[in-house]
Structures are given as structure tokens and as C-alpha cells.
Structure 1
Amino acid sequence: MSSDAEASIPAPRIQLTPQEWRTRLSPEEYQVLREAGTERAFTGEYTDTETEGVYACRACGSELFRSGEKFHSHCGWPSFFDPAESDAVILKTDDSLGMRRVEVLCANCHSHLGHVFEGEGYPTPTDKRYCINSISLRLQPAEGSTN
């Protein structure tokens, strides 16, 4: 999965100073969203959620994923096979930790969401697994939806 457009990543529409982000976010949210941290596997509030609705960026509120694209990958984090809109996220090469991965960022504020993997054999339409930190998301349940 190459990120040819990576060299031309547009500036985020929402630009705040680190202090402004710290005011908006809890320390745990800041560590994941702004410092590319990762929550521990199987601890996030949305790992097994099946509630219908929209998953928005916890930092800026932009729609990122819909419940219809969520699937059970049993990896410890919420998994989606496609973003709500193709331009909702930005993919960026991540060579940290001595391996090549593809980082997923919110297109609106460039907050870290997680990573995307492909070719793992999940029975989804895209064969991609957007492995997203629960703490990066806020579920907006569909009207009348219950868990």
C-alpha cells in the first residue's frame, strides 16, 4: 500500500498549538492522538461495539468510519475495512519500531488514529484492516440505536 500522495499531504484544516490540544484532550487522548501512541490491546471502549452509528475523530469531530464498515478482527482494537469517505483519512508511511507500516491520520486535524494493514485474508470487501485506537474515536450512535 503505497502512499504516493504523501509528499503532497495538505496542511490540517484544524491547527492548534500543543498546549491548545492539551487543553482539549485528556492526557491519554493527547498521548495517542497527538504523539502517535497506542492504547493497550483489548482495553478500548469500542473494540467489540456493534452499535450502529458514526465513528468521529475524538480530537476534532470529523466523521471517519461508519459502523457498517466495522468488523471483528479479534486483534484487540476496533477494525474497519474502509473509511466513511475516501478523503476522511490520510495514509502516511511509518517506519518507527524498526518496521514499515502505514499510519492512519484524521484528514481534518492530522491526529493519529492507528494503522492500516492489507492482505491479511479477512473476508471484507477491501482486504484492508484499519486498526484504530478506541481513544481516537467517539461513537455517535444512530437515532434509535442501542448496544
Structure 2
Amino acid sequence: MNPNDPKTITDAEWRERLTAEQFHILREAGTERAFTGKYDKFYEDGEYMCAACGTRLFISAAKYNSGCGWPAFTKPADDETVEEHRDTSFGMIRTEVTCGKCGSHLGHVFPDGPPEEGGLRYCINSGALEFVADGDE
């Protein structure tokens, strides 16, 4: 087991690192209620990182107001940033989005985004993200 590989961290270790809400979202594939997340109506310039492992997931230039109640992005920051998986929970067929580095649940991607930006809407939980403003490190 590689201690530097976040995919090998135990649930107990994740519980120590994350808030209860973050653990529920990131490690148990939970969700926050619509329109309650801190990044839903947040539009500052910067980058959105995985709240679990710090990987850069999305950039503010790809964020838009979809009206869905969660932060929405047209694309990930990089091709390897996120992974997509078929999700059949709750009697629906959706595409789950997880962090490409640590495997944490982020949200879902839907084919109803802005057509001029590729047509995708990455609907992501605020609790899965940490924001770093441009110029901050």
C-alpha cells in the first residue's frame, strides 16, 4: 500500500480529514440540498480543487449559472482531472463524476449544458470543492 496514494486512505482516515458533510458527499456519494452550497452563486476568478485531495478539478472560466442549485461547469480543468461512471442509483441512469486522483464523488454530468460550450453540465456539490482565488496559493 502506497501511503501517498489517496485511493488507499481508509474511511477512518477520511473521517479525520473531512467534515461530516464532506465525508458524506465525497466518500458516501451523498449530495447537499439544492441552492444551499457555498459555491452555487459564487463567481470569483480562480480554481476549484477537490476538498479531499487538493487536485485541481475546475476553473472559474468554465463555471456558469445553470439554475440547477449546484455549481455548474462546462468542462473539467484537464482531461484526467475527473472520471465518469454509470450511476443507476435512485432508479435513474446518470453519469457520476469522481475525482481522478482520489476517487471521491463530486456530482454528476448531464448533456444539457450550453451547446456553444460543448453541451455538458458538470453539476458538482459545493462540499466536494475548495476554491483558490487567482493569485492565492
- TM-score normalised over the length of structure 2: 0.92
Q: Does 1:79 find its partner at 2:72?
A: yes
Tell me the equivalent position of 1:3: none
Once the two structures are superposed, the pairs formed by residues 34-113 of structure 1 within 5 Å of their partners are 34-113=27-106
| Percent of aligned pairs with the same amino acid | 49
Helix, strand or coil for the counterpart of 2:28? coil
Q: 1:123 to 1:48 in 2, by over 3 A?
A: farther
**How far did 1:123 drift?**
4.4
- Give the AA of the match of 1:122: P
What is the rounded CA distance, in whole Å, between the counterparts of 2:27 and 2:98 in structure 1? Answer: 10
Q: Does 1:136 find its partner at 2:131?
A: no
Q: Which runs of 5+ in 2 are unaligned?
A: none
What is the rounded CA distance, in whole Å, between the counterparts of 1:122 and 1:82 in structure 2? Answer: 11
**How far did 1:137 drift?**
0.2
**How far did 1:122 drift?**
2.7
Aligned length, in residue pairs: 132
Tell me the equivalent position of 1:16: 9
What is the rounded CA distance, in whole Å, between the counterparts of 2:64 and 2:100 in structure 1? Answer: 22
Q: Does 1:29 find its partner at 2:22?
A: yes
What is the root-mean-square deviation in Å for CA atoms of aligned residues? 1.4
Tell me the equivalent position of 1:5: none
- Give the AA of the match of 2:100: A
Q: Is 2:74–2:113's contact at 8 Å kept on the other side of the alignment?
A: no
